[in-house]
Amino acid sequence: MNPQTKAQTNFQFEALGNNALRRVGIQVKQDIKVGRQYGFVYSPARDGSNTGFLSAIVINGKKFQIVKL
């Protein structure tokens, strides 16, 4: 949500598969749940759309680096 306008913006991310997430310590079924808040580090799409490639995710204050770009 944009804190200034209170508008919600939807994004779509591409990422590596579940096995890659498990290798960095993310338990997909336990750690990623609908309704929780997460932080994302991503490389934005070149066309300016709300898409990108996910390189890290912050879960409960802990940063999981999925891939280094």
Tens digits of residue pLDDT in 29-48: 899 899 899 999 999 999 98
Q: Residue 64 carries which DSSP code?
A: E
* Degrees, nearest 5: CA angle 16-18-23: 90
DSSP bridge partners of 44? 52
Amino acid (one-letter) located at 35: G
Q: What is the pLDDT of residues 12-23, one digit of tens each?
A: 999 988 898 999
CB atoms within 10 A of CB 54: 17
Q: Which pLDDT band, with edges at 50, 70 and 90, does 54 fall under?
A: very high
Task: Provide the whole-model pTM.
Answer: 0.74
The helix (run of H) or strand (run of E) holding residue 23 is helix 18-23
Q: Which two tokens stand for residue 28?
A: 């997909």
